[in-house]
Amino acid sequence: VRATLAQLGYEKLDDIIGRTDLLKPKHISLVKTQHIDLAYLLMNAGLPKWSSSQIRSQDVHSNGPVLDETILADPEVSDAIENEKEVSKTYPIYNVDRAVCGRVAGVIAKKYGDTGFAGQLNITFTGSAGQSFGCFLTPGMNVRLVGEANDYVGKGMAGGELVVVPVDDTGFVPEDAAIVGNTCLYGATGGQVFVRGKTGERFAVRNSLGQAVVEGTGDHCCEYMTGGCVVVLGKVGRNVAAGMTGGLAYMLDEDDTLVPKVNKEIVKMQRVNAPAGQMQLKGLIEAYVEKTGSTKGAKILSEWEAYLPLFWQLVPPSEEDSPEACAEFERVLARQKTAVQSAK
């Protein structure tokens, strides 16, 4: 870069920032670029008032009030954390409130570790949550959002419970609308997420041990998943289960459109034949209906014998011999025991 600057007759980047007159479009005859208009990029918007050095030397600004600080300042919440009690609180939330509950989880984890908290925080939020809502939750945190949320819901959560439901009388059908954003449940190592509605793209990417039930997703669902369990009660986008090496996914396919959407490089698709798998699926849907009041989930349970054959189970090689995926698990286990005894 310096050599290029020197060749142009300039010493530093500050000298050329804003100098669109130095840019010239490179005309290449390609079909995909022939309709691109660069006029707006080459337009002169004026030179900056401050140099990049002046901008970098500004005083660090405050993020303003942080909702987690308000929660932790609540005497009932702090007492519940300090003395392992149960408390229920409700707070309004707005889309400028990001990473809500992350600091609360940090305080609990610092004092008790990941699994040592014997109390219970039942926190309900009403409104529209900003990014990373419910991130890094720990066991003992039951978080409920009545409204909607942006990207990264449940990011890195290690335990607890996270429920997102729309407000009453929404004017739309919950199972047909996206209620949380992209990349939710990213890298979760535990806990449960129940969303009454659809999620955005890359749902449960890198999920390790989290469990989730949702009513639809965008593209790349269960991407790079290594553990846990995901249940989808509606349509999904393309490239499902790409790079999925662990965990299980159950997908409802009411109109036979799922098969071409699944990336089969690693996982295989099969119906839910194993009794343990059927129990796992039904148990998660039952918990989901109890927590969210989902009419779609309730209908599936009331007509279970009709809906069960419509579910696909996505199974990576690491889960093929698990009780939930292997219909012959008991027989295989008995054969293995017999082989071990014979070897002795």
User: What is the domain-level CATH number for residue 310?
Assistant: 2.160.20.60
127 plus 23 within the same structural domain = no
Q: Of 57, 77, 96, which closes a domain?
A: 57
46 plus 100 within the same structural domain = no
Element at 68 (helix H, strand E):
helix 67-73
| Domain contains 324 | yes
**Which residues, in sequence order, are bridge partners of residue 123?**
89, 143
Q: Count how many domains the chain has.
A: 2
CB 246 within 8 A of CB 210: no
**What letter does residue 312 receive in the DSSP assignment?**
E
| Separation between Cα atoms, residue 341 and residue 337, nearest integer Å | 6
| Domain contains 338 | no
Alpha carbons within 13 A on the beta-carbon side of 23: 13
Q: Which of 72, 129, 131 is nearest to 106 (CA)?
A: 72
49 plus 103 within the same structural domain = no
**Which residues, in sequence order, are bridge partners of residue 157?**
none
Rg (CA), the chain: 26
40 plus 146 within the same structural domain = no
Long-range contacts of 75-80 (CB under 8 A, 24+ apart): 77/104, 77/121, 80/119, 80/120, 80/121
- The tokens describing 68, both together, are 């987690």
| Domain contains 337 | no
| Domain contains 255 | yes
185 plus 326 within the same structural domain = yes
CB 249 within 8 A of CB 271: no
93 plus 214 within the same structural domain = yes
| Separation between Cα atoms, residue 39 and residue 27, nearest integer Å | 13
pLDDT value at position 209?
97
| Domain contains 343 | no
The model carries a pTM of: 0.83
Rounded to the nearest 10 degrees, the angle between the axes of helix 75-83 and helix 102-112 is 30
| Separation between Cα atoms, residue 236 and residue 261, nearest integer Å | 8
pLDDT value at position 53?
84
Mode of pairing for the β-strands spanning 311-315 and 246-252: antiparallel
| Domain contains 344 | no
Q: Which of 215, 187, 180 is nearest to 201 (CA)?
A: 180
CA 342 to each of CA 105, 332, 333, 334, 337: distance values in angstroms, whole numbers, following the listed order = 51, 15, 14, 12, 9
- The tokens describing 72, both together, are 């932790």
Residue 273 buriedness (CB in 10 A; 0-12 / 13-18 / 19+): middle
181 plus 126 within the same structural domain = yes
74 plus 185 within the same structural domain = yes
31 plus 167 within the same structural domain = no
Mode of pairing for the β-strands spanning 311-315 and 268-271: antiparallel
- The tokens describing 168, both together, are 């009453």
262 plus 196 within the same structural domain = yes
pLDDT value at position 4?
80
120 plus 9 within the same structural domain = no
34 plus 148 within the same structural domain = no
| Domain contains 336 | no
CB 115 within 8 A of CB 137: no
Residue 169 sits in which domain range? 68-331
* pLDDT tens across the length of the chain (344 residues): 556 888 888 988 888 888 888 888 888 888 888 888 888 889 988 888 888 888 888 888 887 889 999 999 999 999 999 999 999 999 999 999 999 999 999 999 999 998 899 999 999 999 999 999 999 999 999 999 999 999 999 999 999 999 999 999 888 898 999 999 999 999 999 999 999 999 999 999 999 999 999 999 999 999 999 999 999 999 999 999 999 999 999 999 999 999 999 999 999 999 999 999 999 999 999 999 999 999 999 999 999 999 999 999 999 999 999 999 999 877 777 677 777 777 76
| Separation between Cα atoms, residue 160 and residue 137, nearest integer Å | 6
List all residues 6 or more positions away from 67 whose beta carbon is below 8 Å from its beta carbon.
Answer: 91, 93, 97, 100
| Separation between Cα atoms, residue 199 and residue 221, nearest integer Å | 9
Neighbours of 178 (CB within 10 A): 17
| Domain contains 121 | yes
